[in-house]
Amino acid sequence: MSDRNHAFSSDEPPEIQVHPHDCYHAVIDRCSTLPPLMTAVVHPVDVHVLAAVSDAVLENLITPVLIGPAGRIEKAAATADLDLSKWQIIDVPHSHAAAEKAVELAVAGKVKAIMKGSHHTDELLAPIVARDSGLRTERRLSHSYVMDTAGYHKWLIVTDAVVNISPDLCAKADICRNAVDVWVALTEESRMPKIAVLAAVEVVNPAMQATLDAAALCKMAERGQITGCIIDGPLAFDNAVSPEAAREKHIVSPVAGDADILITPDIEAGNILAKQLTFISHADAAGIVMGAKVPVILTSRADNLRTRLLSCALAVLVCKARDENRIK
């Protein structure tokens, strides 16, 4: 479906670089044969959120369950000139109650994904990570940005740019595991993904915690504590994505210059890198939180149409991969 047929797509900024968006279209096409994902949309009281939901419905990616103050949802829909008659609305008094209701529906199996609406991410995730939520797993929650940029030859996953502020070694191990699941769902490739653990340098420096964590993650993968991937690090960003830079520094590694997944040292590094790729390099992007029993779709008002749709499509593929027991 053409972008111009979607709600609120007319204000999308024009692309200023050559980018065929082949990866984006391939993912949307894969989802075209799959049923839409029953999705709890939490506190959708903003025009942009409802427009994103409408776009995803038009592409047959989700069947929304709108949870929030019904009056505010209907007012936003009227502003956006959207007909909500075919969508289920669950009236709750505020955003906290909306997040709790979404968790309740997910635990009961009535929805298979949760989508962020017009509220803060921590407010959405709090009832999911609560000890008695029913959605927790043995893993820590983490966010993955899936990127397709004209400057790189394949999908690139950047993590964690949203959830974990200053992850320790155990958290980084789960960030790796969650990112591998995203990659498996996204690509369906038989090979193992290559994970580059980023730091400012490519040697272990006891004064730089990121390099120590990188070395430990490599050993954990070697000993089978992290499986299904190839990990190397520490690697500086240029060595992770540029074969020329890796050769210049005499780095011999199956990961250097060909990474599929980038593990950043903290949320600042991850957030800056991801937003540089989207706002300056104009990458197509998708955002998803893994580690719970259902995927959590994260979109924001700054996201363009492709990002909103690709995030929903990624959730569809994650659920498909789980149903097929290819990921946890």
By CB atoms closer than 10 A (0-12, 13-18, 19+), residue 64 is: buried
- Output the CA angle 288-283-168, nearest 5 degrees: 45
Residues 6+ apart with CB under 8 A from 33: none
CA–CA separation, 1 and 188 (whole Å)? 24
Stated as kind and residue range, the H or E segment containing 186 is helix 169-187
Instruction: Give the ranges where 188-224 is alpha helix by DSSP (H).
Output: 209-222
pTM listed for this prediction? 0.92
Percent of the chain with pLDDT over 90: 83
Task: Supply the pLDDT for residue 100.
Answer: 97
16 pLDDT more than 70: no
Q: pLDDT confidence of 201, banded at 50, 70, 90?
A: very high
Residue 58 scores a pLDDT above 60? yes
- pLDDT tens-digit map of 202-229: 999 999 999 999 999 999 999 999 999 9
Please state, in angstroms and rounded to a whole number, the distance separating the CA atoms of residues 135 and 97.
16
Task: Please give the backbone phi and psi of residue 117, each rounded to the nearest 5 degrees, phi first.
Answer: -110, -130
| Residue ranges of domains in the chain, CATH in brackets | 1-7+25-137+292-328 (3.40.50.10950), 139-288 (3.40.718.10)
The residues, any chain, with a CB within 8 Å of residue 46's CB and separated by 6 or more, are 76, 117, 118, 301
Q: What's the confidence (pLDDT) of residue 4?
A: 42
Residue 147 CA, distance from chain mean position: 9
Phi-psi region of 191 (alpha: psi -120 to 50; beta: other; left: phi over 0): beta
- Token reading at 121: 């991410």
Mean pLDDT of the chain: 92
CA distance linking residue 38 with residue 6, whole number of Å: 20
Average pLDDT (268-280) is 94
Q: Are 210 and 254 in contact (CB under 8 A)?
A: no
- 13: pLDDT confidence band, cut at 50, 70 and 90? low
Whether residue 8 is predicted with pLDDT greater than 50 in this model: the reply is no
Q: Which H or E run includes 68?
A: strand 62-68
Q: In what order do the strands lie in the sheet with 37-42?
A: 88-91, 62-68, 37-42, 113-115, 296-297, 284-290, 142-148, 156-159, 261-263, 194-198, 230-235
